[in-house]
Structures are given as structure tokens and as C-alpha cells.
Amino acid sequence: MGRERWLAKDTGNGNRKRTTSAYSCRSPANDSPGAPTRRNDHDFDHPRKVAELAVSLFDQTAGLHGFGKRERRLLLYSAMLHDIGHALSESRHEEFTFKAIMEHHFDSIPEHDKEIVANTAYLHRQPYIKLKFQHLNGLNEADQILVKRLAALLRIADALDESGKRVVHDIRCYEEKGVVYFDLHVVSKAIAERAAALRKADLFEHAFQRTVIVVRNGLEKRARARQRAMTDQLEQHRSG
């Protein structure tokens, strides 16, 4: 599975905020769908970060899902819109997010694709055992699989900004013997993000039939260990 660095860097340092401010219908980013969004730009920090994380995960797991540019764009839209329901409800915001997306007209999203975006955003929150899939009934089997796999990536991306402090600067995904590792490059212990990622990886494990392990700076640590081992072997060879 491919490994890559972030496609973009987030430079914000603010805390994740959830407000009940009104929504407007302007685009929060150049490549977003021009959807219902919060009026204050700082309210976009979390969805922007989640979108960045989500598309990076999408690109690095291409060998698992096999999707292309269209599906990547739908995931991006879902990530940018996944929290808009907070204006109406904190505890059930995913329901209002689904309704807001379905009732809004998007110039850049065909009606059929809008239903995929709404369902993907809707599934970003609850534990797998509590997820309700009734909104998928209007989609064919292939689109239902698509929604579940995109939502699986969105859930992990959302979890990786759990604290709203954007402590995850980079992520690398790789697979070994049926286990998918999410290796977080962080500047702190990222306790909240790691715990949330493991908790919300349940849909990923069901959708892709893989076990998920979240590590912190794991690749770097193993690389340093291998380098030390090689150095020790070289010194032993020279001394022998």
C-alpha cells in the first residue's frame, strides 16, 4: 500500500469549536461544494482538517478500495459538510446534517451523488453497533458499499482531529498480513486522537475486513531501530 505525506499543511492552532451560529450558502474552500456552512471562517478549521486527513487516507488506501477521482471528490464534500447539523442539534447533529445536505441544491453535486454525500456524512459519528443504515435503502448495492467505505475513512479522519487542536501533522497507512496500520506523525502524545481513531475504526474493519492498529511515530521508530541494528552489525564486522 502506498505511503505519502500530506497533500496540504494546516497552520491553524485554534481549538475545535462548535457553535450554533447561522449558516450561509457559500463555499468554505476552493474545492468544496458551495454548501450550507457556518459564517465564521474559524468554524471551518475542523472540517478543513478532516477533509485533508480524509483525502490523504483515501489516496493511501487506494489498493483496498479501488475508487477514483469521483469518489475522492465525494469524500471531500462529505468531510467538509459532516458537522453542519451542529447548528440544530449537538446530540443528533448527524441527522440534521443528512437532512440539510439532502434539502440543499448544489451546483457541483448531481442529485444522485448528493445522496451518497449525505449518507457518508451521516455515518461519521455513532459506534458501528448503533449505526442506522435506513437512509441507504434508496441506493443500489454498489453505492451502499461505496458509502460505507467512504464513511469508514471519514470516521477515522474525524477522529484524528478529536481535540480540535490539529495535533496530527502527517499520517502514513500501510498493510501487513491483513492488518492496516495508521501511523500518526504528531507533536504530542495525541491521546484523544489515538483513542478516538481506534474507537471509530469499527466501520473500517467491517467495510474492508481488516484489523486496524493505530501507532504514533511508529515508522520512524522502527527505521531508527533498523538503522541502529545495521550500525551495530557493521561495527561488529569491522571489529571481527
Q: What is the pLDDT of residues 144-186, one digit of tens each?
A: 999 999 999 999 999 999 888 888 988 999 898 889 999 998 8
Predicted confidence (pLDDT) per residue in 93-142, tens digit: 667 688 888 888 888 889 889 999 999 998 877 766 666 777 778 889 99
Is the pLDDT at 16 greater than 50, yes or no? no
Q: Burial, 231: exposed, middle or buried (Cβ in 10 Å; 0-12, 13-18, 19+)?
A: exposed
Grid cell locating 80: 467538509
pLDDT computed for residue 105 by the predictor: 87
pLDDT computed for residue 145 by the predictor: 93
Distance in angstroms (rounded) separating the CA atoms of residues 94 and 206: 21
User: What domains, with CATH codes, occur in the chain?
Assistant: 23-239 (1.10.3210.10)
Residue appearing with cell numbers 495535533:
167
Is the pLDDT at 49 greater than 80, yes or no? yes
Is the pLDDT at 200 greater than 60, yes or no? yes
pLDDT computed for residue 55 by the predictor: 96
